[in-house]
């Protein structure tokens, strides 16, 4: 009889230990699930940031192309105007030519300044994109050290 009681007691202790292990595993699973959900949210935000930055870069590139086109048009207009004015001599034409050249030179200067500003903005956007990518990599590494982000 004592053997039966002892075996039953031992079995009950074993079941209790397994139940405690199962409770511990459930708690750890819940914590891991919560962390995974937070990581997914964070990764989604970073992906949205990268997508927005990519869209901004596309807009910037389109504006850069437009500016380059404007510069080419202004240079062609300047060359055409210069050729036309060279063919017509005279005090009035010389004065008009100088005025036109001054206006065109200012326009070219403004276009080149705009081009330089756009180039700086592009570099800034590139740095920001790199920073987002590095931040995403850091977050991904700490939240998913074994590469489970995908």
Query: Domain extents for the chain?
Result: 2-143
Rounded to whole angstroms, the Cα distance separating 115 from 64 reads 7
| pLDDT for the residue 123 | 93
Q: How far apart are CA 123 and CA 57, in angstroms?
A: 10
Work out the pLDDT band at 148, boundaries 50, 70, 90: low
Class of the 2-143 domain?
Answer: mainly alpha
CA dihedral 16, 17, 23, 29 (to 10 degrees): -160
Whether pTM exceeds 0.85: no
What pLDDT is recorded for position 144? 73
The string of pLDDT tens digits covering residues 17-48 is 888 888 888 888 889 889 889 888 888 888 88
């Amino acid at each position: 009889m004592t053997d039966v009681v002892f075996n039953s007691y031992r079995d009950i202790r074993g079941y209790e230990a397994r139940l405690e292990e199962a409770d511990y595993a459930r708690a750890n699973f819940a914590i891991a699930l919560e962390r995974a959900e937070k990581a997914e949210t964070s990764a989604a935000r970073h992906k949205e940031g990268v997508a927005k930055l990519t869209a901004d870069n596309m807009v910037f590139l389109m504006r850069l192309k437009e500016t380059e086109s404007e510069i080419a048009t202004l240079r062609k207009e300047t060359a055409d105007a210069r050729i036309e004015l060279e063919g017509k001599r005279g005090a009035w034409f010389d004065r008009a030519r100088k005025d036109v050249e001054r206006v065109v030179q200012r326009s070219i200067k403004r276009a080149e300044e705009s081009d330089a500003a756009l180039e700086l903005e592009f570099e800034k956007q590139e740095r920001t994109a790199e920073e987002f990518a590095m931040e995403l990599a850091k977050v991904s590494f700490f939240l998913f050290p074994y590469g489970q982000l995908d």
